[in-house]
Homo-oligomer: A and B are copies of this chain.
Amino acid sequence: MLTDAMLRDSIGVDGVGHDHRVTRGRLEAFSDGVIAIIITIMVLELVPPHGSDVQDLLPLAPIFVAYVLSFANLAIYWNNHHHLLQAAKTVSGRVLWSNMLLLFWLSLVPFATAWMGENEFAAFPVALYGLILIMAAVSYGFLVRALIAAPGQTSTLAEALGDDFKGRISPLLYGLAIPISFIAPLVAFGIYWFVAAIWIVPDRRIEQRIAT
């Protein structure tokens, strides 16, 4: 266990020759590991049915649809996390803990996915799913701010983040979906898909703009 002095050193406060890329690299590796495990253990909820007919798969349909959405959401988080850290020069203790908070909320996604899928999109499970997505989005915001505030960070990161329209609109849409869950849960579920779509689609748009 470490003294405060050592911690201060290794989080890049006084810059006495520590290699920040090592810290960033291991933070990325740990986050990759956790996200890879979360995205994969969700499939354990897809328990194979006892029968071997195609209609035996039908009861799994809502669980499968929920799984696809959560896979997409975690893939989006991995993508954004990867790009965010790539633009960062230094990492601080606050960054490490903000990242842990983000991973904590993401670790609850498999639970919320299973509860939502097994109850065929009932009101409370759909609302809980939205709540966990809001908490993850807020934690991601903490991580962004911690990275910008990290000692020695260049202005490149803040500039690169810019306006961040999608980052601001996503938790608002999730917040809208939660009350809707209690009236029309499938509409709320549709909003979650819509938010996932606005994060995935633009990548292709950029590619096409470049190709022309």
Contacts and interface: CB of A to CB of B under 8 A. Distances in A.
A196 to B, nearest CB: 12
Contacts of A137: 1
Contacts of A36: 30, 33-34, 36-37
A133 B5 CA distance: 24
A68 to B, nearest CB: 8
A172 interface: no
A154 interface: no
Nearest to A149: B211
Contacts of A23: 82, 86
A175 interface: no
Q: Which 10 A-B pairs have the closest CB atoms?
A: A1-B167, A33-B36, A52-B122, A93-B203, A52-B119, A48-B115, A6-B160, A37-B40, A3-B162, A75-B100
Interface of A: 1-11, 13, 18, 22-23, 26, 28-30, 32-41, 43-44, 46, 48-54, 56-57, 68, 71, 75, 78-80, 82-84, 86-87, 92-94, 96-97, 100, 103-104, 107-108, 110-111, 114-115, 118-119, 122-125, 128, 137, 140, 144, 149, 151, 160-167, 170, 199-200, 202-204, 206-207, 210-211
10 contacts: A3-B162, A3-B163, A7-B202, A23-B86, A26-B82, A34-B36, A40-B41, A48-B114, A49-B115, A94-B207
